[in-house]
């Protein structure tokens, strides 16, 4: 099964991808996570991507398409994967189709998570992750069961993203509406676009996505 989780920054794609990954034995492929790792490791790609990411702009298609093309060939992707943050424009969507054709596989579903803009800013400004296992949390909506201890791995170090600040969030939302939302008609025409209510409680959203994937 190959699934795209689609939605604006802060829609909950990462949170839901982690849940679906566990439940369905799929691999989460987050271009944002991969780029942040490349930036931290100061690789050639990372150095090229860093400035764009800090400004809330999209990184060049060549870089992200190259990263995904290499990643989906790895063995752990053979049972399927969830794309989180890719594609982000029509050129990337077309490149993805070509890659999947070459591999002889096809998209199972594109799940659009619909969330009000006002909620996005609140979600993004309160979110943080475990520095060890990357489990996602939020200051008010999703706290660890024991304060300061990761539910998943017991880690006690947490981190916040450098681009989760008000100014960069506004730019990221602009980029979403200008470049990423136009991908939706592309998938609607193919008949594989499914909508879920991303404003619902986290467990409800997971249930909605599971229902889409079971159909
Ligand atoms: P994300 O973690 O998905 O919110 O992505 C963080 C940042 O990484 C974005 O604001 C972009 O700068 C960059 N990025 C992630 N995925 C892509 C993509 N598919 N195309 C271009 N830039 C991306």
Compute the residue count for the chain. Answer: 215
**What element of type H or E holds 194?**
strand 193-197
- The two structure tokens encoding residue 67: 């990263």
Residue 31 beta carbon below 6 angstroms from any ligand 1 atom: yes
Contact 43, 36 (CB under 8 A): no
Percent of the chain at pLDDT > 70 equals 100
Question: Helix H segments across the chain?
Answer: 13-24, 31-40, 44-54, 61-71, 90-103, 117-125, 166-175, 183-190, 202-214
* Ligand 1 center from residue 34 Cα (angstroms): 9
The ligand 1 atom at the shortest distance from the C-alpha of residue 53 is 12
Residues paired with residue 84 on neighbouring β-strands, in sequence order: 5, 30
Closest by CA to 141, choosing from 159, 156, 128, 153, is: 128
Tell me the pLDDT tens digit for each residue of 45-64: 999 999 999 999 999 999 99
Work out the average pLDDT over 23-51. Answer: 94
Matching residue, tokens 């752990």 = 76
Tokens of 65: 């398409």
Residue 63: its pLDDT value, please? 96
Does residue 215 register a pLDDT over 90? no
pLDDT of residue 167: 87
Backbone φ and ψ of 10, nearest 5°: 90, 0
CA of 11 from ligand 1 middle (Å) equals: 14
Round to whole Å and give the CA distance between 15 and 115: 14
What is the biggest distance separating any 2 CA atoms in the chain, rounded to whole angstroms? 47
Residue nearest to atom 5 of ligand 1 (CA): 32
**Ligand 1 pocket test target in 28, 32, 127 with most atoms within 8 Å of CB:** 32
Provide the pLDDT confidence category of residue 9 given band limits of 50, 70 and 90. Answer: very high
Q: How far is the CA of 132 from the centre of ligand 1 (A)?
A: 21
Q: Is the pLDDT of residue 211 over 90?
A: yes
pTM of the predicted structure, to 2 decimals: 0.92
Retrieve residue 118's tokens.
């006002």
Label residue 210 exposed, middle or buried (CB < 10 Å: 0-12, 13-18, 19+).
middle
pLDDT tens readout for residues 180-209: 999 999 999 999 999 999 999 999 999 999
Average pLDDT over residues 151-180: 94
Order of strands, sheet of 109-114, starting from the edge strand that comes earlier in the sequence: 27-30, 81-84, 2-6, 109-114, 193-197
Q: Is 41 helix (H, G, I), strand (E, B) or coil?
A: coil
pLDDT per residue as tens digits for the range 122-151: 889 899 999 999 888 999 988 999 999 999
Instruction: Look up residue 193 and give its DSSP letter.
Output: E
CA separation for the pair 59, 55 (Å, rounded):
10
Average pLDDT of 87-116? 96
Label residue 166 by pLDDT band (50, 70, 90). confident
Predicted confidence at residue 134, as pLDDT, reads 87
Query: Packing angle between helix 31-40 and helix 61-71, nearest 10 degrees?
Result: 100
For ligand 1, atom 8, the nearest C-alpha belongs to 32
């Amino acid at each position: 099964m190959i699934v795209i989780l689609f939605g604006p920054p802060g829609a909950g794609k990462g949170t839901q991808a982690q849940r679906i990954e566990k439940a369905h034995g799929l691999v989460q492929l987050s271009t944002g996570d991969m780029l942040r790792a490349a930036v931290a490791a100061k690789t050639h790609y990372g150095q090229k991507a860093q400035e764009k990411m800090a400004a809330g702009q999209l990184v060049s298609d060549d870089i992200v398409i190259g990263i995904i093309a290499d990643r989906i060939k790895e063995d752990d992707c053979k049972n399927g994967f969830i794309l989180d943050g890719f594609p982000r424009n029509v050129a990337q969507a077309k490149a993805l189709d070509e890659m999947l054709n070459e591999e002889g596989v096809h998209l199972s579903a594109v799940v659009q998570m619909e969330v009000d803009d006002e909620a996005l800013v609140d979600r993004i400004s309160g979110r943080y992750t475990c520095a060890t296992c990357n489990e996602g949390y939020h200051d008010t909506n999703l706290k660890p069961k024991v304060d300061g201890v990761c539910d998943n791995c017991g880690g006690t170090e947490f981190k916040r993203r450098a681009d989760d600040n008000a100014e960069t969030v506004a730019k990221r939302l602009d980029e979403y509406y200008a470049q990423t939302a136009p991908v939706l008609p592309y998938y609607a025409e193919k008949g594989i676009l499914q909508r879920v209510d991303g404003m619902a409680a986290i467990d409800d959203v997971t249930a909605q996505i599971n229902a889409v994937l079971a159909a």
